Structure 1
Amino acid sequence: CPQTGTSYSTHEVSLGYKEVAEPAVYIKFQLVDDAASILAWTTTPWTLPGNVGLAVGSDVKYCRVRITEPPSGNWEGRGSSEVGEELILAKDLLSDVLRHQVEVIEEFSGSEIVGKAYNPLFPDAIDRGDSDTAWTVVPADFVTTTDGTGVVHTAVMYGEDDYALGMEVGFPAQHTVGMDGKFIGGTHDSLDGRYVKDCDSDIINLLEQNGRLYREHIYTHDYPHCWRTDHPLLYYAMDSWFVRMTAVKDKIIKYNSEVEWAPEWTGTGRVGEWLRNIKDWAISRERYWGTPIPVWICQDCDHEHCIGSIEEMNSMKTDSSPSPKELHRPYVDDVKLHCSNEGCKGEMVREPYVMDCWFDSGCASFAQWHYPFENEDKFKGSFPVDYICEAVDQTRGWF
């Protein structure tokens, strides 16, 4: 969330979906050494400066078409194409996408255009570096013909599938947007330093001026919003700490089946469905207030060490480190530790993150007794709890 300046876990993201009507665009990606353009669709124009690849389905049937007549019927929004222009898109989506009269020149499977290169939309936004695949067509198994054009615009840093594909094929992994939600300097003169969601219309104008916009339309869909601020969230690749929930998925599902839920559908439906599709839990937050993540990393050898108690922290801290007044920021950030990696004389610095607040809440049953450090009898005498009454939203919160 650009407003709070922090990442959210998948269950927090699920709390704030809203129906929105936003511009979606069909973009013409001009092939290198070819007269045709590949047509791709996106509902997030702000990600287009970060485009580094196009994904196709290897077995999907595609068509190369030539525009023979101007568009028929009403033309919604900006964009255009000239008679004689050639476009490539999935055969099954021709009638859904095109507004011009066309003739089909050629049909082929997606595998036949894999490797083709195209010209970047924003040449100065991304540095190719040593990537051999930047701005080329690659195969991907997530490509479908249920909507769009059968070609997926790929911006590595702004989508889960995009990132996984980029890491697999070697696309450049560079941000065009900062953590504040504003375009980074060097992206484009008219975009630099501006909030991305305010730039959609200007990006569409730029693409139209450069002859890259086939057409736009208003698309109504559900989009995640911050549950704290109500602002739109951005899918954004960043470093985070995770709890590997997928490793204990079966155990959690078993425990859930032993809970007597009322109403019953809460456990079998809402919670049960969530657990069956559980993902690893992103627990780190880029916030000031919260429970500090107790991980220190050596500045010399990158060794990581998770502290399990105040006693352990004090036994490892350097002579120059203060004894923190309390374990919250900023005091705990000043504590430096001797590296625990054998043979290393380096200094360890705490990771500058705090915990997801729901992690705190989930610890309540044992943390209230300071267990496992003391009060073992009290904890075992009161756990598991007999009865909890909460609003339904908490089933994906502290539950």
Structure 2
Amino acid sequence: MPSPALPEKRWSIDLEKSIQEAHYADNALYAQRYAFNPDSGKELFVIDTPPPYPSGTWHIGAVAQYSMIDVIARSQRLLGKEVYFPWGVDRNGINIEFVVEKNTKRKMKTYDRAEFLELCRTTIEEFTEAMRHTGKRVGLSCDYEREYLTDAPDYRSVTQSIFVELFKKGDIVEDLRPNIYDPVEGTTIADAEVERLPRKTKLVDVRWTCEDGTELVISTTRPEMICACGVVVVHPDDERYTDLIGQNVTLPLETNGREKTVKIMTHPSVKSDFGTGILMVCSFGDQNDVAVFRELGLTPFQAIDLEGKMTDVSGPLSGMKVIDARHAAIEALEVQGDLVQAVERNQDIPVSERGKNPVEIILLKEWYVRQTHIQDKMKEHVDEIEFHPPRNRQFLLDWMDNISIDWPISRRRWYHTEIPIWYSEDETKVIVPPSGTYVQPWREAPPTGSRVLDRMSREDLGSYHDLEGTMGSVIGEEKVFDTWMDSSNSNLFVSGYLNHPEVFEKAFPTAFRPQGKEIVRTWLYYTLLKSTLVLDQPGFKHVWIDGLGMDPWGRKMSKSLGNGIDADSVLECGAGGRTGSWKVKGPDKTVSLRANKIGSECFRLWKACDAQVGDDFHINPEEIEKKYFGVLTKLFNVARFASQFEVPGDLDEEPEHLEPEDRWILAEFQRTMNTVEQAWSNLDIYTATQALKTFGTGLLPSHYLEMVKSRLYDDDVAAAWTLHRVVRDFMAAFSPVCPFFTHHISQTVYGNSSVDVDAFPRQAFAEVAAGTQEGERLCKLSTELQEFNGHVWGAKKDAGTSLNQPIQGITVPESLAEFEGTLTRMHKLE
């Protein structure tokens, strides 16, 4: 019995890790494999990789999605494209500020600004390094040498340059408008950053008195906002209140510096079946209040300040936190006899997505990107993009249909990209930096090349160098951008915008945007908005929207539920024979999940096989091990079995004579490879992987190997050539899914590395190529072959005979006559 060229008896996590370590150790070889060369002459395929946010551990669901992006990257290289798979990290934003505040037990505003920024930078770099390690552990073939960080000067300069460009065009405006505001974190947020959470609250029925003495009862959950009431409205079809329309009604709580009465009017937004069917409209309880104030031309009152406290207009409630003012308002109404009833109930209230703090809508002067005027043009561009799966385009369109206000982009935080504006002393002019320059206006003067613009008209008045003496004491803007203002430039940045214009011309629209469906309304929408405003083009050729990572009970994994799994623990478990264990919070109790071996290759294979793109996927390490480590074991066994037979000559030259079973498996293999190549071309991971899995664990080992074992042991060259050709090409086609697994087999057995293959193995097999008459004929025999083999094996089992023993009474059907000798020998038919 010859010795296998593959010395390991089985695939293991330790073997996987040793291959990975060697893979990343040689920087020059790694760069040769994966570095982006835009001058190669190949078709460019730039991936706008979702830059993960480093927050200590990398979420297992995100890692699963990222591993599939790597499958796409590797498959496109296999198809001969010049792939840029960037390693980018999203490091701006409030999350790292929260971490620093939590670690130091101090709020941001208690620090010197520069000191706080340095704390954020050093903290997030530690998290980033851990994330780099996880990225390599899961096998990402990124161009790590071209790493981009959204808090780096080169990235931030692009954001600032785009801001200046859009400001000059009039697509960015500064205005005093109602904004969603998080008083706890002290910053404006956008609609897309708001979620609703159930909270206990009191629905209060309050007695109001009209000028004719009629008493009305109005239901509200915000009695502290009575001081900001601008109008009382009823539905125009509600006949109960027809006689009261046009009357004035007195505010039931004491106020300061405003009228004591408001008018009763009609408005179609009133729900007649809510409470008593009468609505007080305040500035501002919700977005409906904003709309009514705008529609009726009412003057708003500022009831809540930037610290989340009541203002002077609230009279005796002034200076109280909102929740305290609510309790005080209820007590005051009860004392004066105007409280009809107060009933506690559950209510979904708006909170900030990151801080989970109740938000308010208050008047603030902020910077906005205009977006309502551009929706039709955006939809034209969206129609030009190919979505994977097509149905997920609707997530985007549904969100766009709800866009009714401009996007507020300024924030009152610190660890973000600064708004690149300085103001003249009289505030009539602004200074903007030259394109491609990163500036921090809060602590530095305008750089050389800055221009002076009229604040209102945006007219260019000349260079700051020439006009500096007329500007007075220049004041730098202290506000920063919303983090999505940075993230929405990612496709422009990786495609070379501003920094590499010659590459950008070839690479844009960006080839591929992969992401989860949970950030369609933010990252995808804002990116497409930016591409339309800046370039009037669709941002992408392909948008690939995956589902959500779910726990074993079908719930989305999240920190709030405590049901997440640390990615590193899944990838590392089993190393050195250790068992992995995870405590996961279930619906009723916390349970332990255990698995002996998973690793990155099994993990990637599971995700590629388990759900088509767009479908939510359940993550259960026990199930992953049970279903997919066995697949790798079976494929490894096939390769190890093949490796004991000498590789005959040139595998690219077909032998003169092949037996029917060789011709049959080559026809089936060619059909499989055609399916796989077409699937890779269509960015269809599921179809490609399922086809390879079915062939590699079914037809090849269960049928063909059983048919040719005796020939192989008799040193039959045609059988050895067929087996090795199939295994070699299979590993190349399978390398996008399990790169280290295939790399080890290809290099050990065939002296070449599958991860270096940049051409899909397309060579057809002479007469039996799929699509030829002979190839089709042989493939049609597959079902009969499998059924016949299954029939014989079943008969032996029923007779209590081992598979290697003879059996009588079974004959090969006439339709399989060309295989009669092979099947008779294989099954020992007598």
Residue 400 (structure 2) aligned to one of 254, 275, 284: 275
Residue 19 (structure 1) aligned to one of 198, 208, 226: 198
Q: Describe the SS at the equivalent of 2:357.
A: coil
Q: Describe the SS at the equivalent of 2:332.
A: helix
Query: In the alignment, is the contact (CA less than 8 A) between 1:9 and 1:281 conserved in 2?
Result: yes
Query: In the alignment, is the contact (CA less than 8 A) between 2:488 and 2:523 conserved in 1?
Result: yes
Deviation at 1:165, TM superposition (A): 3.3
Deviation at 1:210, TM superposition (A): 1.5
CA 1:122 to 1:236, structure 2 compared with 1: closer, same or farther past 3 Å?
Answer: same
CA 1:194 to 1:226, structure 2 compared with 1: closer, same or farther past 3 Å?
Answer: same
The one-letter amino acid paired with 1:219 is R
Name the structure where helix makes up a greater proportion of residues: 2
Q: Which residue of 2 aligns with 1:50?
A: 228
Residue 507 (structure 2) aligned to one of 355, 376, 382: 382
Deviation at 1:167, TM superposition (A): 4.8
TM-score of the aligned structures, taking structure 2 as reference length: 0.36
Tell me how far apart the structure 1 counterparts of residues 435 and 382 of structure 2 sit (CA, whole Å): 30
Q: Deviations over 1:30-68 (max 9, x none)?
A: 123x222222222223322322321223332115xxxxx
Q: Which residue of 1 aligns with 2:188?
A: 7
Deviation at 1:241, TM superposition (A): 2.0
The one-letter amino acid paired with 1:328 is Q
Tell me how far apart the structure 1 counterparts of residues 214 and 397 of structure 2 sit (CA, whole Å): 49
The one-letter amino acid paired with 2:440 is H
CA 1:243 to 1:205, structure 2 compared with 1: closer, same or farther past 3 Å?
Answer: same
Q: Describe the SS at the equivalent of 1:143.
A: coil
Query: In the alignment, is the contact (CA less than 8 A) between 1:134 and 1:171 conserved in 2?
Result: no
* Structure 1 vs Structure 2 CA RMSD: 3.0
Q: Which residue of 1 aligns with 2:321?
A: 195
Q: Which residue of 2 aligns with 1:359?
A: 485
Tell me how far apart the structure 1 counterparts of residues 367 and 218 of structure 2 sit (CA, whole Å): 34
Query: In the alignment, is the contact (CA less than 8 A) between 2:283 and 2:362 conserved in 1?
Result: no
Matches within 5 A, 1:258-337: 258-268=384-394, 270-279=395-404, 280-300=406-426, 302-303=428-429, 309=435, 327-328=439-440, 330-332=442-444, 334-335=445-446
The one-letter amino acid paired with 1:124 is T
Deviation at 1:307, TM superposition (A): 5.3
CA 1:263 to 1:222, structure 2 compared with 1: closer, same or farther past 3 Å?
Answer: farther
Tell me how far apart the structure 2 counterparts of residues 57 and 304 of structure 1 sit (CA, whole Å): 47
Query: In the alignment, is the contact (CA less than 8 A) between 2:433 and 2:439 conserved in 1?
Result: no
Deviation at 1:346, TM superposition (A): 4.6
Query: In the alignment, is the contact (CA less than 8 A) between 2:302 and 2:313 conserved in 1?
Result: no
Deviation at 1:196, TM superposition (A): 0.5
CA 1:167 to 1:285, structure 2 compared with 1: closer, same or farther past 3 Å?
Answer: same
Deviation at 1:188, TM superposition (A): 3.8
Query: In the alignment, is the contact (CA less than 8 A) between 1:126 and 1:176 conserved in 2?
Result: no
CA 1:58 to 1:298, structure 2 compared with 1: closer, same or farther past 3 Å?
Answer: farther
Q: Describe the SS at the equivalent of 1:366.
A: helix
Tell me how far apart the structure 1 counterparts of residues 475 and 284 of structure 2 sit (CA, whole Å): 27
Query: In the alignment, is the contact (CA less than 8 A) between 2:199 and 2:347 conserved in 1?
Result: yes
Query: In the alignment, is the contact (CA less than 8 A) between 2:333 and 2:339 conserved in 1?
Result: yes
The one-letter amino acid paired with 1:330 is W
Residue 278 (structure 2) aligned to one of 131, 135, 151: 151
Deviation at 1:355, TM superposition (A): 1.4
| Structure of greater Rg | 2
Q: Describe the SS at the equivalent of 1:240.
A: strand
Structure 1 segments unaligned to the other structure (5+ residues): 64-108, 312-325
TM-score of the aligned structures, taking structure 1 as reference length: 0.72
Q: Describe the SS at the equivalent of 1:218.
A: strand
Q: Which residue of 2 aligns with 1:74?
A: none
The one-letter amino acid paired with 1:9 is A
Q: Which has the higher contact order (CA 8 A, sep 6+)?
A: 1
The one-letter amino acid paired with 1:113 is L
Q: Which residue of 2 aligns with 1:138?
A: 265
Q: Describe the SS at the equivalent of 2:207.
A: strand
Q: Which residue of 2 aligns with 1:94?
A: none
Query: In the alignment, is the contact (CA less than 8 A) between 1:163 and 1:237 conserved in 2?
Result: no
Q: Deviations over 1:223-269 (max 9, x none)?
A: 2211121111112232222212111111222333333333443221x
Q: Which residue of 1 aligns with 2:652?
A: none
Residue 239 (structure 2) aligned to one of 56, 61, 64: 61
Alignment coverage as a number of residue pairs:
327
CA 1:335 to 1:21, structure 2 compared with 1: closer, same or farther past 3 Å?
Answer: same
Q: Deviations over 1:254-296 (max 9, x none)?
A: 333333333443221x222001222321112122232222345
Q: Describe the SS at the equivalent of 1:35.
A: coil
Q: Describe the SS at the equivalent of 1:47.
A: helix
Query: In the alignment, is the contact (CA less than 8 A) between 1:21 and 1:219 conserved in 2?
Result: yes
Q: Deviations over 1:273-325 (max 9, x none)?
A: 001222321112122232222345555363567656267xxxxxxxxxxxxxx
CA 1:223 to 1:157, structure 2 compared with 1: closer, same or farther past 3 Å?
Answer: closer
Tell me how far apart the structure 2 counterparts of residues 310 and 277 of structure 1 sit (CA, whole Å): 34
The one-letter amino acid paired with 1:289 is Y
Tell me how far apart the structure 2 counterparts of residues 240 and 361 of structure 1 sit (CA, whole Å): 19
| Percent of paired sites with the same residue | 22
Q: Describe the SS at the equivalent of 1:179.
A: coil
Q: Which residue of 2 aligns with 1:318?
A: none
Tell me how far apart the structure 2 counterparts of residues 308 and 41 of structure 1 sit (CA, whole Å): 55
CA 1:303 to 1:43, structure 2 compared with 1: closer, same or farther past 3 Å?
Answer: same
Tell me how far apart the structure 2 counterparts of residues 211 and 150 of structure 1 sit (CA, whole Å): 21
Tell me how far apart the structure 1 counterparts of residues 484 and 443 of structure 2 sit (CA, whole Å): 23
Q: Deviations over 1:89-134 (max 9, x none)?
A: xxxxxxxxxxxxxxxxxxxx2xx42331222233334523xxxx95
The one-letter amino acid paired with 2:233 is A
Q: Describe the SS at the equivalent of 2:346.
A: strand
Matches within 5 A, 1:116-265: 116-128=247-259, 135-167=262-294, 169=296, 171-185=298-312, 187-189=314-316, 191-265=317-391
The one-letter amino acid paired with 1:23 is K
The one-letter amino acid paired with 1:357 is T
Tell me how far apart the structure 2 counterparts of residues 251 and 351 of structure 1 sit (CA, whole Å): 32
The one-letter amino acid paired with 2:416 is G
Query: In the alignment, is the contact (CA less than 8 A) between 1:24 and 1:45 conserved in 2?
Result: no
Query: In the alignment, is the contact (CA less than 8 A) between 2:183 and 2:359 conserved in 1?
Result: yes
Q: Deviations over 1:189-231 (max 9, x none)?
A: 3x33222024323321211211222222233332221112111
Query: In the alignment, is the contact (CA less than 8 A) between 1:335 and 1:349 conserved in 2?
Result: no
Q: Structure 1 stretch 218-227 or stretch 358-367: which is displaced more? A: 218-227
The one-letter amino acid paired with 1:135 is V
Q: Which residue of 2 aligns with 1:71?
A: none
Q: Describe the SS at the equivalent of 2:188.
A: coil
Tell me how far apart the structure 2 counterparts of residues 304 and 60 of structure 1 sit (CA, whole Å): 52
CA 1:168 to 1:2, structure 2 compared with 1: closer, same or farther past 3 Å?
Answer: same
Q: Deviations over 1:306-357 (max 9, x none)?
A: 656267xxxxxxxxxxxxxx5135325x549885446994556444422111
CA 1:230 to 1:38, structure 2 compared with 1: closer, same or farther past 3 Å?
Answer: same
Q: Describe the SS at the equivalent of 2:366.
A: coil
CA 1:159 to 1:309, structure 2 compared with 1: closer, same or farther past 3 Å?
Answer: same
